[in-house]
Amino acid sequence: MKFRFIGTGGAFDFEQGNSAAWVELHGKKILLDCGHTVYRSMRQLGIAGQMDYILLTHFHDDHVGSLSTTILHQKHLKKPAARAKIMIPPGETGARFQQQIYDYLAHSLIHPENYVDFVSTDEVPGLHVLDTSGKHVPEMITFGFGFEEENEIILFSGDLGDPNLIFSYAESLPKNKKIRIFHELSFWPASVVHSYYIDLEPHLNNWEIYGYHCNPTFAPADLAIPLVANHPEFLFQ
């Protein structure tokens, strides 16, 4: 399994790019989130159009802002042309999320069904869904994800105001596998839609944790959580 970040910043951190990752799992390439900086970054990295699937955590612009452009790239610039495959979690919440995606894309693509196939997350083995709805913004559908291959599991929180959810899930995982957690974080204590770094740090005693969705130049001096932006081995370069 390969898990590399295309961007590590939040909505306003244009220097780091929007948080997104390129995941290679069981032979499939997955684009994880597609914010407004992501298409440009993929073009610069030479990977635009190379994904087998697109996987989304939620519907804020810094996670879907270049989705329609990425889909149009598949249709008009990729050789041979291909329809985009967007992965949808099973169940009623997943069905509502699919409708949100369709309605969003209809504004720019008019008829999304001409460009996109919606497929289940069950299509790729080792992909686990964590329904985090309401834990980022009240009433918003959100997801975190787990990626499992051989003896390794990687957890990706998505935007999440309650860090206990991910760590409770981690406790349920097999103890004989290496578990790495990529968790979004905020440096601002007043934030209720992101996880404050102080609340994450006690979990360092039990888990390998790396923070993302932040601007490292604002990191406080007492920060104990390593940031993805400072670890080139996790960056797609």
**pLDDT of 90-128, one tens digit each?**
999 999 999 999 999 999 999 999 999 999 999 999 999
Rounded Cα–Cα distance for residues 159 and 133 (Å): 10
Tens of pLDDT, residue by residue over 17-63, are: 999 999 999 999 999 999 999 999 999 999 999 999 999 999 999 99
Phi and psi at residue 179, to the nearest 5°: -120, 125
Which H or E run contains 72?
Answer: helix 67-76
Is it the case that residue 79 has pLDDT exceeding 90? no
d(CA 78, CA 76) in angstroms, rounded, equals 6
Residue ranges per domain, the chain?
Answer: 2-234
CATH architecture of 2-234: 4-Layer Sandwich (3.60)
Following DSSP, what letter does each residue of 134-178 receive, concatenated?
A: TSSSTT---EEEEEEETTEEEEE--S-S-THHHHHHHHTS-TTSE
Are 39 and 84 within 8 A, CB to CB? no
Q: How far apart are CA 101 and CA 229, in angstroms?
A: 29
Residue with tokens 């989130």: 33
Q: How many CA atoms lie within 13 A of 232 on its CB side?
A: 1
Looking up tokens 């699919």 gives 98
CA distances from 166 to 105, 137, 143, 172 (A): 30, 16, 11, 10
What is the pTM for the complete model shown?
0.97
Nearest one of 33, 23, 30, 19 to 1, comparing CA atoms? 23
> Would you place residue 5 in the very low, low, confident or very high pLDDT band (cuts 50, 70, 90)?
very high
